[in-house]
Amino acid sequence: MAISIYFSLLLIFLSHFPSSHAEPFIGVNIGQVADNLPPPSETVKLLKSSSIEKVRLYGADPAIIKALAGTGIGIVIGAGNGDIPSLAADPNAASQWINSNVLPFYPASKIILINIGNEVLMSNDPNLVNQLLPAMQNVQKALEAASLGGKIKVSTVHSMTVLGSSDPPSSGSFAPSSQAGLKGILQFLSDTGSPFTINPYPFFAYRGDTRPETLAFCLFQPNPGRVDGNTGIKYMNMFDAQVDAVHSALKSVGFEKVEIVVAETGWPSRGDPNEVGPSVDNAKAYNGNLIAHLKSMVGTPLMPGKSVDTYIFALYDENLKPGPSSERAFGLFKTDLSMAYDAGLAKSSGSSSNSSGQTPSGKVTSTGWCVPRNGATDEQLQASLDWACGQGIDCGPIQPGGACFEPNNVASHAAFAMNMYFQKSPKKPTDCDFSQTATITSQNPSYNSCVYPGGGGGAGSTGVMNKYVSSDKLDSKDNGAVEPKVYSSLSFLLIFVVSLIFHVNM
């Protein structure tokens, strides 16, 4: 009995420590409108070599679902818009759908969500819109009948056009034409604990406003930012602004506690001559900086401290998709399994987590360290952090479990990332500028086991907290910090309980 209690408490204790493996909030879409895709077994090998923890399918391809068995990768499957009428009209059809597409594979294949339809509210088909909620309800009942209620969620995917207002983010609201169809759906999502899934695409926003500062805002690159006049919050990237607009829309109708999941977002690597925005550089910048932003776990201004589950579009190019060339060029990987560009998804890539938890020593070739300037705001530093980690540097030490993760705040993480980028660069003063938010110092910012490469031979002191990680303001919970005292308290509690158990057994 005492041993059982001990191990139960041990598991609770260990669950409070951050994991250093792949992040569960990064997913990818696998589209299949192509005739040159690799076999599912090869796709699974590719996924396992990456930090991708979830995949979204647009249907329920049994070959892919089966190939993913035993991997632990979360799987989102879908029922097409054409399936909705039968699923809505006949509960038996919903049961048969579950019997065919879920039960043969679950739980070996980790199916976590079923999307019923895709962007149905934008279909201009009132009959289909009216059938959507009954279809979702029947699929939910079929899951419950199979004892899978709560284990597998049910939702439907929306485009950003479901919003009538999104700028500024605090004014986010649903379009009047969508509100009738959404009312029952949102109540269903709330009742079942299912997410509101949405497709935000800064790429499409940029096509409507092609100013250079808008491109930087969309790509998570240093920019002046955009202030929400209602809240005073300065947004440093379009992704956060779009997601917060969705949050505001949900809040405006009383459903702010419904989780938001980004079902699709991405950037094409090529396009037609008349298309604005597609390029390898832009695709790498958007997806790489988005991944770095998600890994920072800073969240959005209205939903801080937690990264939104995000499925990047897409794993591969789809060579048979209609439309402009950009529609066939969203792939992170080529169909020969090589990278289209390095977005930081490989487990061994610079922006993935460092499993050793140690900082790299690096070859000391500079005469100083690059650190944040006094007066730089958290918003500016977050933008610089996202950009730096998207440039191929090793940001693993500031991921959970890394030597420089604690204290978990923007200023500390930005200081490390800025310096790593500077040390990798030619080390000109302009390489430590970050839109005038950084400066070169001769004071070594290293502390404890967190070593900052650089400095030309050990100037300054090490082994003590530097000013970028010891400020009371920066260590406060308001800045997303994780207080180390929590782990000390848990350690004390565990030791106390173990001592008590041994005392009882004597």
| 428: exposed, middle or buried (Cβ count in 10 Å: 0-12, 13-18, 19+) | exposed
DSSP assignment of 324-367: SGGGG---SB-TTS-BSS--S-BTTSTTS--TT---------SS
Alpha helices in 220-371 (DSSP H): 238-252, 280-296
**Active-site option among 23, 264, 379, 406:** 264
Burial 296-316 (b: 16+ CB within 10 A, else e): bbbbbbbbeeebbbbbbbbbb
Distance CA 159, CA 204 (A): 12
- Residue 312 CB partners (closer than 8 Å, separation 6+): 26, 27, 28, 29, 265, 266, 287, 290, 291, 332, 343
Count the alpha carbons within 13 Å of 130 in the hemisphere toward its beta carbon. Answer: 4
Pairing of strands 196-199, 173-174: unpaired
SS3 state of residue 113: strand
Partners of 226 in the β-ladder: 235
SS3 state of residue 115: strand
Closest C-alpha among 480, 483, 482 to residue 301: 480
Distance CA 307, CA 240 (A): 10
SS3 state of residue 418: helix
**Active-site option among 119, 318, 379, 406:** 119
SS3 state of residue 417: helix
- Please confirm, yes or no, whether 213 is among the known catalytic residues: no
Which CA distances in Å does 244 have to 18, 285, 404, 422? 26, 21, 29, 32
Instruction: Find the helix or strand (DSSP H, E) in which 45 lies.
Output: helix 40-48
Using an 8 Å Cβ cutoff, are 108 and 69 in contact? yes
- Please confirm, yes or no, whether 23 is among the known catalytic residues: no
Q: Could you list the active site residues? A: 119, 264
